[in-house]
């Protein structure tokens, strides 16, 4: 654990798996229990990282290659960790982060074909010890997720740098997230995101409750589960 009170929880998965909906639902439930919750996202989440976000998602860095993109994701992550996440955890907050280091492992490492050693080194430098206490991997067939993402963004919206890639690439990412979950079962939990929204929310809450200790008020544990 990162501290006796704070908890660091990350949400991962392919495009359109429903991470942000579920993060906001979970935040609401935890806040009702009197817990201090910080919702954040990557790339971004701090002033410096938000400045890099647009460079990455617009595709402006694409022509400089995947190493360059990986370095920019890592730079953004380092700023986000040191400026926002670590201070919040030290204050005892529960930090819910939409994407984190596993997205770099999958998008830049697996489907970007970057050498694992390079990805690992960057991860170690950027994360600097702040490994998530729990990572919820939302799993959905890539085609379903892409359709959902399209609906959310509106029919005429242009897909971003990563969404625009081929279906086979998105399926490869899905498999990579599943493999990663299996390889780190203590930290990662696979959630079937194809179920009804309430069912997904309950599965997430159950996993989160497992990592919250007695510092959670007992009475609060009896309120509605989603
Ligand atoms: P975003 O608009 O935040 O969408 P999503 O709802 O999919 O999270 O886009 C973030 C995009 O950046 C997403 O396609 C995944 C990609 N990404 C990486 O390639 N590497 C990373 O390390 C991170 C954090 C995100």
Q: Is residue 66 part of a domain?
A: yes
CB of 42 closer than 6 A to ligand 1? yes
Q: Is residue 226 part of a domain?
A: no
Q: What pLDDT sits at residue 46? A: 98
| Burial zone of 137 (CB within 10 Å; 0-12 exposed, 13-18 middle, 19+ buried) | buried
CB of 107 closer than 6 A to ligand 1? yes
CATH value at residue 47: 3.40.50.300
CA of 2 to the centre of ligand 1 (A): 25
Q: Is residue 115 part of a domain?
A: yes
- Do 81 and 127 form a contact (C-beta atoms < 8 A)? yes
Reported pTM: 0.93
Q: What pLDDT sits at residue 223? A: 47
Shortest-distance atom of ligand 1 to CA 163:
14
CA of 107 to the centre of ligand 1 (A): 8
The residue whose CB lies within 8 Å of the most ligand 1 atoms, and thus the one to mutate among 103, 110, 136, is 103
CB of 111 closer than 6 A to ligand 1? no
Domain extent, residue 187, equals: 7-218
Residue 135 CA to residue 138 CA, distance in Å, equals: 10
Q: Is residue 224 part of a domain?
A: no
Residues 6+ apart with CB under 8 A from 100: 10, 12, 42, 77, 132, 135
Q: pLDDT of the chain along its 226 residues, tens only?
A: 444 579 999 999 999 999 999 999 999 999 999 999 999 999 999 999 999 999 999 999 999 999 999 999 999 999 999 999 999 999 999 999 999 999 999 999 999 999 999 999 999 999 999 999 999 999 999 999 999 999 988 877 898 999 999 999 999 999 999 999 999 999 999 999 999 999 999 999 999 999 996 454 444 444 444 3
Q: Which residue has its alpha carbon closest to ligand 1 atom 7?
A: 15
CB of 104 closer than 6 A to ligand 1? yes
Quote the number of domains for the chain: 1
Q: Is residue 63 part of a domain?
A: yes
Q: Is residue 151 part of a domain?
A: yes
Task: Please spell the DSSP secondary structure of 139-159, one letter per residue.
Answer: E--HHHHHHHHHHHH-TTPPP
Q: Which residue has its alpha carbon closest to ligand 1 atom 23?
A: 103
CB of 15 closer than 6 A to ligand 1? yes
Q: Is residue 88 part of a domain?
A: yes
Q: Is residue 1 part of a domain?
A: no
């Amino acid at each position: 654990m990162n501290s006796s009170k704070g908890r660091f929880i990350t949400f991962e998965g392919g495009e359109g798996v429903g991470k942000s909906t579920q993060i906001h639902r979970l935040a609401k439930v935890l806040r009702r229990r009197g817990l201090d919750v910080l919702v954040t996202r990557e790339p971004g989440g701090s002033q410096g990282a938000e400045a890099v976000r647009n460079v990455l998602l617009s595709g402006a860095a694409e022509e400089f290659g995947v190493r360059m993109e990986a370095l920019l994701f890592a730079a953004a992550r380092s700023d986000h960790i040191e400026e926002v996440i670590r201070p919040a955890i030290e204050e005892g907050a529960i930090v819910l982060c939409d994407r984190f280091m596993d997205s770099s492992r999958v998008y830049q490492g697996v489907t970007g074909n970057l050498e694992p050693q390079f990805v690992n080194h960057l991860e170690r430098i950027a994360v600097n010890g702040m490994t998530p206490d729990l990572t919820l991997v939302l799993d959905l067939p890539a085609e379903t997720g892409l359709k959902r993402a399209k609906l959310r963004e509106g029919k005429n919206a242009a897909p971003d740098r990563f969404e625009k890639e081929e279906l086979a690439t998105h399926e490869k990412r899905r498999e990579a997230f599943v493999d990663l979950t299996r390889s780190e079962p203590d930290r990662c939990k696979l959630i079937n995101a194809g179920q009804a929204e309430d069912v997904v929310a309950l599965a997430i809450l159950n996993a989160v409750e497992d990592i919250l200790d007695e510092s959670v008020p007992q009475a609060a544990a009896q309120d509605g589960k989603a």
